[in-house]
Each structure stands twice: as C-alpha cells, then as structure tokens.
Amino acid sequence: MTQQFKKKPEQLDYIFRPRSIAVIGATPRKGAIGREILHNLITYEFNGKIFPVNPNYSVIHSIKAYSSILDVPDAVDLAVLVVPRDHVISVVDQCGEKGVRGLVVITAGFREVGPIGLKLENQLVERLHYWGMRMIGPNCFGIINTSSKIRLDATFSKVYPTEGKIGFMSQSGGLGESILEQAREMNLGLSMFASVGNKANISGNDLLEYWKDDPDVDIILLYLENFGNPRRFTKIAREVAAIKPIVAVKSGTTSKGAAAASSHTGALAGAEVAVDALFEQTGIVRVETIEELFNVAAGLARMGVPRGNRVGVLTNGGGPGILATDSLVNLGMEMPEYSDETKAKIRPQMPPDTPINNPLDLIAGAGAEQFKTALEAAMQDDNFDTIFSMFVPLITVNQMEVADAIVDVKKRYDKPLCACFMGVSEYSQGLSLLRSNGVPATIFPEPIAKMLAQIERYRRWKERDEGALPNYDVNREAVRKIIDDALHEGNEALVGEKALDILDAYGLRIAPYEYAHSVDEAVQVAASVGYPVVVKVNTPKILHKTEFGAVKVDLRDSDEIVSAWKEMEQKVRSEVKSDEEFSVVVQKMVKGGVETVIGMTTDPAFGPLIMFGLGGIYVEVLKDVSFKINPLTHADARAMIESCKAYKLLTGFRGSEPVDLDLLAESILRVSMLVSDFHEIVELDVNPFIINPTREQTATVDARFVVKSLS
C-alpha cells in the first residue's frame, strides 16, 4: 500500500485514510448495496487492500472472500458494515476482537425507527466504547476520500467526485447521491464526503475538528437537519471558521425550543432564533438551498474571499447589466465607478460620447478583443475588489473566444473574477471552460450576486472586532443570597423588589420606588421620590398589569394619586378575589428616553440566549428583537443594539438627543455576566429598561426572573 498517515494517525484517519478495508456483507448480487460499495472501492482503485466478508461466498467481484472478519489474515483499519440490523452488534464485537479501528455502518433500522431501534443503537455505542472503536453511522450512505493517495469510495453512489479541496458532511443519506451528482454537474472537486447518518458516535463536531487542520480540506460544506450538541458545535465552528470557511444549509425546524415560556422573551425565542444566532455568531455562511451551497462553494474554491464588497461589472448587453446591478445593490454590494485610468484605457473601443459607467456596457457585438481590453483594465482598477464579467450570446460573437479571453485575463491578474454566460445551456462549452479554469460562472446573474454577498458576509465576520467578554465589578454575594433564599422557600419566580435588587447588585440603574400600604403613604412616597410618578398595584395575582388597568402612569399631584388609588383598589377588590391587603408600588416616572427590553431565555439545546429589543409594542407587535447565544462580547452587545429595525430611535430622532449607547451596551453585558455567573437563572426580563442620553435619567422600571435549582 502506498498511502501513509501524515503523522501519528488520529482515530478518524483509520476511517478516512485506512490502509485496509473489510466490506462485511459484501455480495455479488448487482444492485445490492453490499455489492455496489465493494464495486466502487474496486472500480475507483482504493489504494490499499480490500477484504470482502460473507460466509456464503469464497470469492466476490474477483476478490477472495472470508467467512468472518476474524478469518482475514491481515490487519484491517476500517470495516464497512452492510449486514442485517440484528447482526450488527455481533459483527461489531468481531471487529473489536480483530482489532479493527474504524467502522462505517450503512445498515439502517436504529434510532430512526423508534424505541427498539434506539435501544439497539445504544447497545452499539456501548460496544464501540468497550472496544475503543469509532464509527460513522448507522443508517448512512457511506464515505469518500478522493485523495489520489487514498481513492476511497465506500458509498453506493453512481458518481465518483473529482479530487478537490472541499469537505462535505451530509446529515441526509437520501441527499447523498444528489449532492455528488450536483458537485459533478458544477465541476466542483471534493476532498472528503461523509454521510453521517444517525451520528451515534462520530458527529458533525468530530468531523469539523478533524477537518480543521487538514491540509486536504480548504472549505467545509454542511447539510444539517439538527444539532446534536449545539454548545460544542458553536465553540468548534467558531474556531474552524476563523481558519477556513464553513458553508451550511440547515433544513427543518425543531419545535422543542418553542415551549410556551411565560415571558415575552420566552415566547419569542423559538429554536430557529437560536439557530440563527448560532450561525451569526460562529461565522458559518448560512445558505438557504443546496444550489446556493454549491454556488458559494464554487466561488470560494475558484476565486477565494475578495478583499471587499466593491464589484466592477462589465457586459455586452444592457438588460443583463441592469439585472446584475439590481441584484448586487439589493444584496448590499457596492458598485463604484471605474477609475479615470480605466476609462482612458477602454475609451478607444467605445463609440464617442458613450458614458463609461458601472455596469460597463461594451459596444453591441463586442467580442473577445473588447472583453480582453476592458477586463484587463478592470482587473488593474483599484476601485474594485471583484470583477464580474457578463456575456449574452450573439450570433456574431464566438462564445469560446470570449471564454478564452476571460480565462487568459484571470490567469494574469491576481483579483477575484467571476462570470455569467447568460441563458446558455448548463452544458455550454464556454461555461465549462470557465469553470474548469477557476472562474465561478453561472447562466443567470443573481446566483453570482448572492454568492458574492454571502462570501462578503464571511469576510466581515472574519475581520470583525471580536471584542472582549465583560468584567464589571459586581456584588455576586448579594445575588447568591437572593437566589438561594428564593429556592430554599420553593419560590422560582422573582418579581418586584427581589428582581430589582438582583439587577442593582449587578450595577443596573433602578428607578427609585417604594411600597405604600395606604393612600396617605402613597402620597408621601410620591413626594419623596418626586413627581410625576407611576403607581402599580402590588400583587403577583395580576399577570398583565397594564391590560388589567393596574398601572397608572404620569401622576402629577396628590389628587391624581388619590383617585388612582381608589379606582384601582375598587377594581382589584371586585375582580381579584384575594384576601391580601391592597398596596401599591410608587415609582418615580422616568422621563423621556426610549423603552427597551433586555431579556434572557434558555433554549433546551443551545442554553442561555440573551435578547435585546425596543420595548412595549416594538417587542410585542413588531418583534423587533435580536438574540445572541450567551456569553456576549462588547462587539456582540453593540451588534444586537444596531440590528434593531428601530435603531434610529436610539440615535436621536425628531430633535431628541441620542441615548447613551455605551451605557446601553454595558447594561446588556451586565445582564450577560449575571446569566453567566448564575446558572440557576433560566429566564429573565428587564422590562422596561428606559435608556436616556444621560446615565442619571436611565433606569430599570421593572424586572422578573425565573430561577431553578441546579441539582
């Protein structure tokens, strides 16, 4: 055998770079999976030994077969299992005994079929641990490694991909064949492909780690249906994305996270919100469709990551140029003008007085020469990070010559270049020439625009100022006591004074308030905190106080307090059957400013999510909120604030001064710290948190927590 492990082999090397493979359940029957996998291994010339195993045959596909893996005379790195489900466990034990290091289990009928299958799968995992083996599957389509030193195709695909630098992980076996067909269609080379099936042992996370430093993998593509361990995924993906781009399709939506949490935050945070936050924070390029996945992959593989978002478009047709411009601009790309130098270079071939704009509309009937001159000038123009060359077929122009010109320019200049040969067939020779010479090319302009915009998002993420985690001086002991006391009393919902005390201990500003048990006391308190005031009924019995009419705002004198007290007392007495003494909270009304909400909810899979949004109707009607997975950096907090649709309200509106955005970010980060420090907190709402231009006028008006014992 010729291939060698690069270094001390990792465990996954025994699976993706094995020196010998046993196909257990191999069979000579055409169309059977056990035959097709063996056939693929042989046909694509696996660079090591293959041992078919099946007690019923002595030779399969011209190779000596063995009754059992234990009969194989040589060492076996990888065993591929295509045996009936109920034989899997015993075969795995034989593999363990034999000293096999890695398994790919194609066989289905485990977790995906219900309780009996799940039990079997758990047993299977136990046996793996016992023997110290790693496994891909079960219920999968197999794996591929195209490296010329390996040439491993342990799938039952009809298609063998060309060698390339892309690692592809698919959670769907059913999509396996489609994915490989599509990669070939796009002329995209793969390095490794893995259909991970039920991910009972080797997960997507393991593959990400394996591919992180793998020199054969420059780009990672993922088709995901769910996250086994999203917290680990978040951490690993962020590390890997900093080194090489990860592009992912996430399909399906889980309903788990949409549990009916009682707070606003909980109600808004479905699992999809967590998934979105995950992709945003980890720098994974999230695309909507498999088609986009391949378009972005082709862009990354063929032209890399441009230095910025400035695109120079040139075209031989006005209409196509407009289509490209619409798409690029709508997606946030910039199209600056061509430099004077470039214009001077192009001018001689343009009709006199024709303006040279971006998109640059070459003369009607422009051919290879005109394209070449214009492209060369554009590639040297510092106004652009990427050049996008569009071509519409014309009977008078030779398509192949234009494609040749584009390829020639691409080779001589070091700037990302992509192309659209509009409306030609997917099998056009021009398109094919471009693709096989490293020019991302499509038959419509929109996919190119989308691809550029998605890669630009990745660039921005990579170049972002990550910011540090916050570290404010806080009073942890005070919070520890409040939470411990509450849990000791069996009290999981903290409202009013206790909730505000927790926030106070973490340095959030609180609007001055006091309890009042008589109308006279209410008037006294109001005088001491200062008019105008807000008066709220003090009872946990009324959940939605505003709707009930248990909140009176902007009271300006003692008369207004007296009439508010009377009205509310009567309403509570008649509608809330309670023997509690009637009392109120009198709180200084925070003047002006913008109502915001800082919240937190716990996703069962993703853990704590911090929420920020504009308060009141903004959060409730417009859902103008942003979520991120805790913990947050300074950059995260600022990004959350800036992502609000109503952000303009914070930066000064209709003559109002801008609010203190630093204080707002700080307040969000103090909440983030609180959540990091106390895992007992499973839900919280700081609502409203009124932010103003000055620290003094800024205050928390109300808050609530849900805490749970950690044990």
Q: 380 near 346, Cβ under 8 Å?
A: no
At 101, which amino acid appears? R
- Strands 360-361, 311-315: pairing is parallel
**Stretch of residues binding a copy of itself (CB under 8 A), selected from 275-283, 453-461, 541-549, 688-696:** 541-549
Binding residue (CB under 8 A) for a copy of itself from 42, 267, 424, 478:
424
Binding residue (CB under 8 A) for a copy of itself from 171, 342, 373, 630:
171
User: By CB under 8 A, is residue 223 in contact with a copy of itself?
Assistant: yes
List, as one string, the DSSP characters of 25-84.
T--S-TT-HHHHHHHHHHHTT-SSEEEEE-TT-SEETTEE-BSSGGG--S--SEEEE-S-
User: By CB under 8 A, is residue 353 in contact with a copy of itself?
Assistant: yes
User: By CB under 8 A, is residue 401 in contact with a copy of itself?
Assistant: no
Binding residue (CB under 8 A) for a copy of itself from 236, 328, 433, 649:
649
CA atoms of 407 and 372, how far apart (whole Å): 10
User: By CB under 8 A, is residue 543 in contact with a copy of itself?
Assistant: no
Binding residue (CB under 8 A) for a copy of itself from 73, 348, 490, 655:
655
Enumerate residues 6+ apart whose C-beta is below 8 A from 114: none
User: By CB under 8 A, is residue 225 in contact with a copy of itself?
Assistant: yes
Residue corresponding to tokens 């001064």? 657
**Stretch of residues binding a copy of itself (CB under 8 A), selected from 234-242, 299-307, 422-430, 504-512:** 422-430
- Strands 190-195, 163-170: pairing is parallel
Q: 103 near 129, Cβ under 8 Å?
A: no
The residue (of 108 and 487) whose beta carbon lies closer to a copy of itself is: 108
Neighbours of 678 (CB within 10 A): 20
Task: Assign 294 to helix, strand or coil.
Answer: helix
Scanning residues 300 to 329, which ones bind a copy of itself (CB under 8 A)? 316-320, 322-323, 325-326
Scanning residues 18 to 37, which ones bind a copy of itself (CB under 8 A)? 31, 33, 36
CA atoms of 60 and 43, how far apart (whole Å): 14
Length of the chain in terms of residues written: 711
CB of 620 to a copy of itself, least distance (A): 8
At 196, which amino acid appears? V
User: By CB under 8 A, is residue 567 in contact with a copy of itself?
Assistant: no
CA atoms of 125 and 59, how far apart (whole Å): 32
Binding residue (CB under 8 A) for a copy of itself from 290, 474, 527, 576:
290
Q: 156 near 36, Cβ under 8 Å?
A: yes
User: By CB under 8 A, is residue 620 in contact with a copy of itself?
Assistant: yes
Preceding amide of 631 cis, omega within 30: yes
Q: 89 near 103, Cβ under 8 Å?
A: no
User: By CB under 8 A, is residue 99 in contact with a copy of itself?
Assistant: no
User: By CB under 8 A, is residue 181 in contact with a copy of itself?
Assistant: yes
Scanning residues 357 to 396, which ones bind a copy of itself (CB under 8 A)? 364, 392-396
Q: 285 near 296, Cβ under 8 Å?
A: yes
**Stretch of residues binding a copy of itself (CB under 8 A), selected from 161-169, 296-304, 423-431, 475-483:** 423-431
Binding residue (CB under 8 A) for a copy of itself from 47, 54, 107, 172:
172
CB of 456 to a copy of itself, least distance (A): 20
Binding residue (CB under 8 A) for a copy of itself from 185, 466, 575, 580:
185
CA atoms of 293 and 577, how far apart (whole Å): 60
Binding residue (CB under 8 A) for a copy of itself from 496, 510, 548, 676:
548
**Stretch of residues binding a copy of itself (CB under 8 A), selected from 130-138, 288-296, 470-478, 630-638:** 288-296
> 15: closest CA among 259, 194, 182?
194
User: By CB under 8 A, is residue 331 in contact with a copy of itself?
Assistant: no
CA atoms within 13 A on the CB side of 129: 8
User: By CB under 8 A, is residue 137 in contact with a copy of itself?
Assistant: no
User: By CB under 8 A, is residue 687 in contact with a copy of itself?
Assistant: no
**Stretch of residues binding a copy of itself (CB under 8 A), selected from 176-184, 483-491, 627-635, 676-684:** 176-184
Bridge partner list, 219: 166
User: By CB under 8 A, is residue 559 in contact with a copy of itself?
Assistant: no
Binding residue (CB under 8 A) for a copy of itself from 549, 607, 631, 693:
549
Scanning residues 34 to 73, which ones bind a copy of itself (CB under 8 A)? 36
CB of 341 to a copy of itself, least distance (A): 25
# residues near a copy of itself by CB under 8 A: 76
**Stretch of residues binding a copy of itself (CB under 8 A), selected from 367-375, 380-388, 454-462, 615-623:** 615-623
User: By CB under 8 A, is residue 289 in contact with a copy of itself?
Assistant: yes
**Stretch of residues binding a copy of itself (CB under 8 A), selected from 244-252, 256-264, 534-542, 702-710:** 244-252
The residue (of 14 and 388) whose beta carbon lies closer to a copy of itself is: 388
Enumerate residues 6+ apart whose C-beta is below 8 A from 550: 536, 537, 539, 542, 568, 571, 572
User: By CB under 8 A, is residue 288 in contact with a copy of itself?
Assistant: yes
Q: Which residues of 554-581 are buried (b: 16+ CB within 10 A; e: fewer)?
A: ebeebebbeebbeebeeebeeeeeeeee
| Number of DSSP helices (H) and strands (E) in the chain, helices first | 24, 30
User: By CB under 8 A, is residue 419 in contact with a copy of itself?
Assistant: no
CA atoms of 359 and 346, how far apart (whole Å): 13
